[in-house]
Amino acid sequence: MISSESSLSIGEKISGKVKALFELIKFRLASLVAFSGIFGYYLGAEAIDWPKLILFSIGAIGITGAANTINQIIEKDLDKLMKRTANRPLPSGRLSVEEAIVWVVVLGVTAMYIFLVYFNLTTALLALLSLILYGFVYTPLKRVGPIAVFVGAIPGAFPPMIGWVAATNQFGLEPGILFAIQFFWQFPHFWAIAWVLDEDYKKAGFKLLPSQGGKDLRTTIQIMIYTLFLLPVGWLPFKLGMTDINSALVATVCGVLFLAQTFHLMRKCSDKTALQLMFGSFIYLPIVQIAFLLDKM
């Protein structure tokens, strides 16, 4: 009896491999990361060079895709244990580890070439550091404890900073502020996701929630504290003259609404309110970043 795999045509096999490689990138996530980088680039640039901005976007997606693929290579056997990840290309057997490693090299080398040749050394080094921290430090720490969230928030906050450095070839307080906004945002974002997916994460031994991993009041208080930091840091771009006051007001309103969601979670401590907070985190960051962009125009 001929297996379904052997009965596929060469074209179908190639198409399946290409689709699986594309899945490894996590394109939606990579696109959001690229947008954060574009946000930083736009704020830093005196004038927009559109061909370079497109190249930057390709590099950002490439380095993010490489980091995501490394994460999936390392967690291949763990992904088999979780319902939401069991059908990923590696645990499902649609791609081999060797093929994924080659893909990492292709993506990583392409991104590094773009950053080195068309931008500057600092941009390339920051991108490489983000890849190493996410792929080789954050990923194994997920089974150690909530320290993984702190470590993961560092490369997660790099994109706007990298964008600024790519546009200016300068590192200073301004890219540090862009880093800080995205850094503090990630704690309520990550912990809301970890709360919603707690049962699935436990199957793989992931320990991401604070306070001994409990879905309790102590965890919600920590979520609230990190969200509170978003209020003052949202004003700093205006104070530094990077943007006008309009975006600072938008950031404040969004920050207050986001903070209100954490208080709601503190009262209810339920999966439903954690899910609402998770969606709130997805809304907060792009709205605030778009407000900063519009204020710069």
Q: What is the pLDDT of residues 16-67, one digit of tens each?
A: 899 999 999 999 999 999 999 999 999 999 888 999 999 999 999 999 999 9
Over residues 267-291, the pLDDT tens digits come to 999 999 999 999 999 999 999 999 9
pLDDT above 80 (res 110) = yes
Long-range contacts formed by 137-145: CB under 8 A, 24+ apart: 139/70, 139/71, 139/74, 139/75, 140/74, 142/75, 142/206, 142/207, 142/208, 143/78, 143/204, 143/205, 143/206, 143/207, 144/207, 145/207
pLDDT over 90 for what percent of the chain?
89
Query: What is the Cα gyration radius of the chain?
Result: 20
Q: How far apart are CA 256 and CA 242, in angstroms?
A: 22
Spatial distance between the Cα atoms of 155 and 135, rounded to a whole number of angstroms:
10
Quote the longest CA-to-CA distance of the chain: 72
- What band does 9 get if pLDDT is binned at 50, 70 and 90? confident
Q: How far is CA 173 from the centre of its chain?
A: 22
Mean pLDDT of 83-105: 96
What was the pLDDT predicted at 7? 62
**Cα dihedral 130→39→65→132 (10° resolution):** 0
Reported confidence tier of residue 10, pLDDT bands at 50, 70, 90: confident
How far apart are the C-alpha atoms of 141 and 207, rounded to whole Å? 9
Binned at pLDDT 50, 70 and 90, residue 13 comes out as confident
Predicted local confidence at residue 1, as pLDDT: 40
Contact 207, 254 (CB under 8 A): no
pLDDT in the model for residue 102:
98
Q: Is the pLDDT of residue 133 over 50?
A: yes
What phi, psi does 82 have (nearest 5°)? -110, 140
Residue 242 burial (CB count, 10 A): 19
Euclidean distance between CA atoms 93 and 191, whole angstroms? 30
What average pLDDT does the structure give for the chain? 94
Mean pLDDT of 104-125: 98
Complete DSSP assignment for 221-264: HHHHHHHHTHHHHTTHHHHTTSS-HHHHHHHHHHHHHHHHHHHH
Spatial contact of 63 and 130, defined as CB atoms under 8 Å apart: yes
Separation of CA 260 from chain center: 23
Please tell me the predicted confidence (pLDDT) of residue 4. Answer: 47
Number of helices (H), then strands (E), in the chain = 17, 0
Q: What is the pTM of this model?
A: 0.92
The residue-averaged pLDDT of 101-122 equals 98
End-to-end CA separation in angstroms for the chain = 65
Q: Is pLDDT above 70 for 6?
A: no
Mean pLDDT score, 179-203? 96
